[in-house]
Amino acid sequence: MAAPGRGVTIADVAARAGVAASTVSYVLSGKRSISPETAGRVMQAVADLGYHPHAGARSLASRRAGVIAMMLPLRDGMHLPVLMQFASGAVTEARRHDQDVLLMTADEGPAGLARVAASAIVDGLILMDVEVRDPRVEALRRLGLPSVLIGFPADAAGLTCVDLDFTAAGRACADYLRERGCGDIALLGASEAVYARRTGFAERVREGFLARSGPATVQPCPDDPVSVQRTVKELLAANPDLTGLAVHNEPAVGHVMHALADAGKRVGEDFHVVVIGPDEVAERVHPQLPSVLVPAETLAETAVRHLMRKLDGLDVPDSTLIEPQLTIR
């Protein structure tokens, strides 16, 4: 069970099983047929000695490191719990494919990508939180390192991208409100700043929201309390029949609730609100709101799976949109 001294090698396993080292290798990789008896003896020896192939040697000989890199925006930006869910999902899925995960921060930028690519320390890469004009994307294309991006850069040609389906998120919100019997509904969007660096994002939600029949308004909105208060008031004034609101603006959620209370609306009863954003935002208000959230784990699994396929030379769709989930609380 335990390793005896230091480093059980394939030669040790071969000796104990009474075969050549190459045979052990073939048993382990399954790349050539080996008789069941021999395979059995080899596996027994592997177990007895607690053998694990030396990762460096394997990578050198096979030109496959068995490691993928994951570059996360570890400092800021994304919602932390979502990031963790993502990381966790990625590691778990990677292990399922017998791969390990190397963690990189976005700080390393293009130079970091060049380094890991050239040193062959990883076979591929998952790049999170890709922005519209991301210098790393250019580097990636130049390096030819197999990769999957989370998010869409301006020019996604030749790249594999995965992201949340924002159009579907907008649709889901409209559907939710309509199912609650809301006739007139509105989408309170984000401030411009939030979308500055992300393409399409807001528009896609908007599109989805409006795609469903029935009267619907879309209203961008800054996220300070005063603007939110005013915007909500104006929306209600302009649409006396308004009974449903989708909020795609994380910081504004609390203020929206206040504004609605001030206007005499009882949320959950004669008025319905749904949030597009992380769980916590929707849970922290009273009453808790239903929300459409990023299925981080699914995203991660999809990204890893796509990367594995690419590494195996199989093809994958250039662009994959993950269905959002609407959680009712």
Q: Interface residues with DNA (CB under 7 A)?
A: 7, 9-11, 18-26, 28-29, 31-35, 37-39, 51, 53-54, 57-58, 60-62
Closest to 79 measured CA to CA, from 283, 245, 255, 329: 283
Nearest distance from C-beta of residue 311 to DNA, angstroms: 13
Please choose, out of 48-56, 130-138, 201-209, 309-317, the segment that lies near its own copies by the rule CB under 8 A.
48-56
Taking CB under 8 A as the criterion, the residue among 15, 43, 102, 267 binding its own copies is: 102
Phi-psi label, residue 200: left if phi above 0, alpha if psi -120 to 50, beta otherwise = left
Q: Residue 104's binding partner, choosing from DNA, its own copies, none, with beta-carbon cut-off 5 to 8 A by kind?
A: its own copies
- Residue 325 CB burial class (10 angstroms; 0-12, 13-18, ≥19): middle
- Residue 99 CB burial class (10 angstroms; 0-12, 13-18, ≥19): buried
Cβ proximity to its own copies: between 2 and 193 the closer is: 2
Q: Residue 83's binding partner, choosing from DNA, its own copies, none, with beta-carbon cut-off 5 to 8 A by kind?
A: its own copies
Beta bridge partners of 244: 185, 272
Residues 106 and 74: beta-carbon distance below 8 Å: yes
Question: Which residues in the 106-145 window bind its own copies by CB under 8 A?
Answer: 107-108, 114-121, 142-143
Nearest distance from C-beta of residue 74 to its own copies, angstroms: 4
- Dist. CA 131–CA 58, nearest whole Å: 35
3-state secondary structure of 155: coil
Please choose, out of 76-84, 181-189, 207-215, 225-233, the segment that lies near its own copies by the rule CB under 8 A.
76-84
Q: Residue 34's binding partner, choosing from DNA, its own copies, none, with beta-carbon cut-off 5 to 8 A by kind?
A: DNA
- Residue 9 CB burial class (10 angstroms; 0-12, 13-18, ≥19): middle
**How many other CB atoms are there within 10 angstroms of residue 145's CB atom?**
20
The amino acid at 39: A
Which stretches of the chain bind its own copies, using CB under 8 A?
Answer: 2-3, 7-8, 50-60, 65, 67, 70, 74-75, 80-81, 83-84, 87-88, 91-92, 95, 100-105, 107-108, 114-121, 142-143, 284
